[in-house]
Amino acid sequence: MFDMLLSPFLQYGFMQRALFGSLVLSVSCAPVGVFLMLRRMSLTGDAMAHAILPGAALGFVFFGLDIIPMTIGGLLVGLLVALGSGVVARFTIQKEDASMAAFYLISLAVGVLLVSWRGSSVDLMHVLFGSVLALNDAALALIVSIALVTFVVLLIFWRALVAECLDPLFLRSVSRIGAPVHFLFLILVVLNLVGGFQALGTLLSVGLMMLPAAASRFWSNEVRAMCLIAISIAVVSSIGGLLLSYHAAMPSGPAIILTAGVIYAFSALAGRRGMLASALTSGRHKTA
């Protein structure tokens, strides 16, 4: 048992780096995912994850697999897409979900074409699915920096974020910070997706953000508790996924997300607010 659980992380430096990066991402992304879920913007997070691809691809075209240009490009384009879809939704008859879908589909197509034009299929797979086992010092520094920014913003604006999430009309009626807090939150989403992109690629980066958050909903109804549960699930998913990828020779990113998916399925079935609990409660009501 010791060899199975601890030996990979004690023997190999790349596993230690992968574990550190995944754990920091777990602690940073999971609370953001909870707020996305409560805002009913889960698919928006997925769309924004795809939207960073053209910026990262432009950095790749001109500088290769250099983390700084790809990160800056992904961040700028992600914010541009979020802002552009919001402007279209605000000044036209189109809803935000439709405009976001249009922007993300265009972004995904442009990004894949750019990477395919300059690089090989291996480069395309790296950009789309990441490589958590190949995190370098620059990538780890970026992930830690994004986590610190996330912690500071959540600490300072926690009450405003919760209020804007649960009752945005009330917040706007009593304060003028509603719109700035919403935009600040979108920046947090893009930042964490850019951090996740380094390890999990553009297609899977949203998985570590949304699956633990969605699973936490089956265990609690309180925002702070859901954030803590989501972090715990993300941490377990990261450790379990890395061990699964090591012992079963699986790609590490998909293994982490698959582990989170298994925990989500278990939570949906056996959680305090899951299907079994609902069935038992309804059965008691019928008996009574």
The full DSSP string for 224-263 is: HHHHHHHHHHHHHHHHHHHHHHHHHT--HHHHHHHHHHHH
Buried-exposed string 260-279: b where 16+ CB fall within 10 A, e elsewhere: bbebbeebbeebeebeeeee
Do the domain assignments include residue 241? no
Give the predicted TM-score (pTM) of the model: 0.85
Do the domain assignments include residue 216? no
Q: The domain that contains 82 carries what CATH number?
A: 1.10.3470.10
Do the domain assignments include residue 164? yes
Do the domain assignments include residue 217? no
Do the domain assignments include residue 272? no
Do the domain assignments include residue 229? no
The reported pLDDT for the residue numbered 34 is: 93
Domains: count for the chain: 1
Q: pLDDT tens-digit profile of 25-69?
A: 999 999 999 998 888 777 777 777 777 878 877 887 787 767 778
Do the domain assignments include residue 275? no
Do the domain assignments include residue 20? yes
- The mean pLDDT of 9-13, rounded to a whole number, is 85
Q: pLDDT tens-digit profile of 203-242?
A: 678 888 899 999 999 999 899 999 999 999 999 999 999 9
Whole-angstrom CA distances from 246 to 15, 95, 109, 118, 239 are: 9, 44, 33, 31, 11
- The mean pLDDT of 187-197, rounded to a whole number, is 85
Distance CA 160, CA 69 (A): 33
The reported pLDDT for the residue numbered 288 is: 55
Range of the domain at 17: 2-203
